[in-house]
Structure formats: C-alpha cells, structure tokens
Amino acid sequence: MLQPCHSYLDINTSDIWSFEYQCYFDSPEEFNGFSRSKIISKLYDKIKTIAYLETKPFITYQNFVTGDADQKRYYESKLNRFLGATDFSDYIRLEYFFANDDGYSCFIEKMIPKDDIDFGYWFALKIRQYELAVQYINDFLEYHLTHSFDRYIIDYIDFLQKRILRQYQGIFFSSRVADTVKEYLESYANNPTLEIEEDHTETMPVNKNKKRIRTREHYNAYHLSILKSNPDYLQGYGNGVYHGFLELIKHRFIDANEDKDYDNFKKLFSGKGVTKSKRCIWLEGNIYLKLFVRYMLQTGKIEPMGNENWTTTIKCFLNKKGEEFEVSKLKHANGGVPKKIELLYSIVDSL
C-alpha cells in the first residue's frame, strides 16, 4: 500500500520520484480523477534532465570498452533492457535511462531550494502526497514557512495562493487538500497568538504602551496607533503618513517615486505589510533606520511588538543596495549626525 513519509518535510527529488512511481503503478482511490500518466511523464522528463546535467552515470560506454567481462555483461544487460522497452510504462519501471551511451539512474537525491526555478512545481508535488493524510499538511506548511520563507508570511501567502492553489488544484491535488491549505492561511489572518512581550525600548513619559494581542500577519509591518480610533486614517493623501513619505524622499532617507510608491509605503504602517519585492529602499545607514523605528515607538506612533520590532523592520525596508538589513546590526547601531537625527525626528512627528 502506498504510504508516503509525512514526517519527511523537505522537498527532495528521490522522495517525490519514489512516491509517484508507486502511485503510477498502484494508485490509491484518493488519486482517481488525476492523470497519472501526465504527472509521471512530466516528472520523468525533469528527473532525466537533472540526472544528466547534475549527476554521474552509474554505467558508461567507457566501462564497456575498457572494463572486464563482468562490466561488459552488466552494461549490455542494462542497455538491452532499455532498448527492449516497448511502451512508456516499461521505461518508468526501469528507473534508469541512457543518454550518449551512458546510463543514468532516475533515483537521485536532490534537495529543491526555494530559489529553484521549478520550486512551485516540486512543492505542489510534495503537497500532493498529503491527499493520503490531510491532517499532516499544517506540519509541512509550517516547516516551509520557517525554512523556505524565513517566516515571511505575506510572501508565503502569495506563493501558496498563486503558484500552488491556483495553478495545481485539480491537476495534482483535490479541493480537499486545497481547502486545508486555505484554512491554514486563514489561521494567520484570523487567529490571535499569545500576547507579545512588553517592548523594552525606553519610552517617553507621555506614552505608556500596553501589550496588544496581534495576529501573526501583523509582524510583517508596523501598525499605526491611530488606526485603532480612526481605521480610515491611511485612506487618501491628507494624512501625516503621506506628508512624512514626501519628506523622507525629499531628504534622501528613502528612494521612492512619489506618484507610484505611496500605496506600498502606507502598507508598511497598516499592520499587514508588503511582499519582499515591494519593500522600501532605505538610503541612510543602520543607525538612522534604528532611530526612525525607535522614535516611532517612543512617541507612540506605532504599536510595540516586543522582540519582533527589528525582524519586522527588515520585512519593511531594504538597504540602498537592495539587500536585507541585519537584525543584530540594527540593534547595535550607534552614532549619527545630530542635525540629521533632529530632521528625522521631525518627520516622524508628522506621521
């Protein structure tokens, strides 16, 4: 009986090949309605490409030419079986192929990282295995939120909705699996986590921030305190955030287009955030970004997030090279020119 290893959460070609190989020849009823031949055919092509380009052959023509009698017999046996295959199922059953007279195995070990061009394809094939045990899907999804997406939930939601559900539902997996994934995503939008720790940044006497129950998605952006009493504050262009946006551009703290980038900028203060590619470019160094965030906390412009203050910051801003800031460097940055700091504080006051 086909039994995938649900405790193995990485995306590995050998794991996926083994599962689909068994599924092709002995498909359980959960996969009725899916085209096994189309799935294994495309997978076979991708496996062959990886094997040929990235692995060594298990037998070569040179072995046949220069090897001993046993090597010659082994080579001939493998080649004759391959040449004797009469239909597609025969090729799949062999689990090897020949290219340029050399033999390559289909059973290859390759971890598929997030930056692989076909990551969505392999991810969808892995999640397909959970047709047989939907109760384990959350473990898999949570694992990759951490290990593939660095807890960047906005990016993860976008990936799952557009590259997995929209593209592969009904092709690789059923609505039952899709609904379970959607329920997982909804938990990040709707279910509150435990109360966060008190923020330890020293605060001004005029502001005594309290802990606030926050949903997990909120840690992808700051949350303006005024939104509690005025939820529509960010709508339009007559608010302090828009003025601050223009001032940050004018004084070269951020690199942005005043006509095109404000919608993304205001999302940084909405509690929901933006995708990685939409983060704001901060032109100044670590110290000024640190002071910008710290002063917003001190003056109560944004709600405190405890130890998430700096991880949230790197989800909102990139440095002038388009690279991520480092939490440790932000925390320990010091210095700054007094006049520039005073200017930065005046911009925060306008938010």
Would you state the pLDDT for residue 232? 85
The answer to whether residues 178 and 271 touch, using CB atoms and an 8 Å cutoff, is: no
Q: Domain ends where: 122, 156, 191?
A: 191
Model confidence, pTM: 0.62
Q: Which of 106, 84, 109 is nearest to 96 (CA)?
A: 106
Average pLDDT of the chain, as a whole number? 85
**Tally of domains within the chain:** 2
Residues 245 and 145 in one domain: no
pLDDT at 216 over 70: no
Six-digit token string for 338: 């007094």
C-alpha distances in Å from residue 287, one per residue of 182, 282, 332, 340: 40, 11, 8, 11
* pLDDT-above-70 percentage for the chain: 89
Six-digit token string for 298: 């001190």
Q: For residue range 77-121, list pLDDT tens digits in order.
A: 999 999 999 999 999 999 999 999 999 999 898 999 998 999 999
Q: Domain ends where: 174, 191, 208?
A: 191
Residues 221 and 284 in one domain: yes
Residues 324 and 187 in one domain: no
What count of other Cβ atoms lies within 10 Å of the Cβ of residue 220?
26
Give residue 23's domain range. 1-55+108-191
Q: How far apart are CA 302 and CA 293, in angstroms?
A: 9
**DSSP-derived 3-state class of residue 265:** helix
Report the 3 state secondary structure along 65-123.
Answer: HHCCHHHHHHHHHHHHHHHCCCCHHHHHHHCEEEECCEEEECCCCCECCCCCCCHHHHH
Specify which residues 173 forms β-bridges with: 169
Residues 187 and 289 in one domain: no
Mode of pairing for the β-strands spanning 280-282 and 317-318: parallel
Ranges 192-206, 270-284, 327-341: which has the least confidence = 192-206
Q: For residue range 11-64, list pLDDT tens digits in order.
A: 999 999 999 998 999 877 788 778 888 999 999 999 999 999 999 999 999 989
Residues 25 and 157 in one domain: yes
Would you state the pLDDT for residue 211? 38
Q: For residue range 286-322, list pLDDT tens digits in order.
A: 999 999 998 898 888 888 877 678 888 888 899 998 8
